[in-house]
Amino acid sequence: MGREIGVLWPEILRAMDAETTQLASQLGPATSVPWEDSPAREAEPRVADDETVQSAIFGQVSYGVVLSDLLRHLGVEPHAAIGYSLGESAALFALRAGRDQIGRAQG
């Protein structure tokens, strides 16, 4: 999800990469496709473990940030954001709200 954005607008991902040391792990293939690419995957659903769920959450939030950055790059500036649960977190990260608090929580 979102692979084409990085191909068509690489400057979006370059700018995000400059902001974090974890971009590759948050947007990597394991995040968006946490199983082997095989026809059998539909017949045998993979049981989600904590790491897979965490990767999916990071991937979804990162994708929201990528789309938000792309829209701003194209001249669309948000005046507000709404969301519920993970959507709230995605919006806060996408708008770069509370950077100091987020940095303190992680470090």
- The string of pLDDT tens digits covering residues 44-90 is 545 556 667 777 788 888 888 899 999 999 999 988 888 888 889 88
Q: Taking CA 94 as the corner, what is the angle to CA 100 and CA 74, rounded to the nearest 5 degrees? A: 130
Name, in order, each residue with C-beta under 8 angstroms of 67's C-beta and a sequence gap of 6 or more: 2, 5, 94
Distances from the Cα of 18 to the Cα of 22, 34, 40, 79, angstroms: 10, 25, 38, 25
In this prediction, residue 5 carries a pLDDT of 87
Q: Decide: 63 and 46 in contact? Cβ < 8 Å.
A: no
For position 35, what pLDDT does the model report?
47
What is the dihedral sign for C-alpha 6, 68, 76, 83? positive
Given this model, what pLDDT does residue 42 score?
53
Residue 90, classified by CB atoms within 10 Å of its CB into exposed (0-12), middle (13-18) or buried (19+), is buried
Going by C-beta distance under 8 Å and a sequence separation of 6 or more, which residues neighbour residue 2? 27, 32, 63, 66, 67
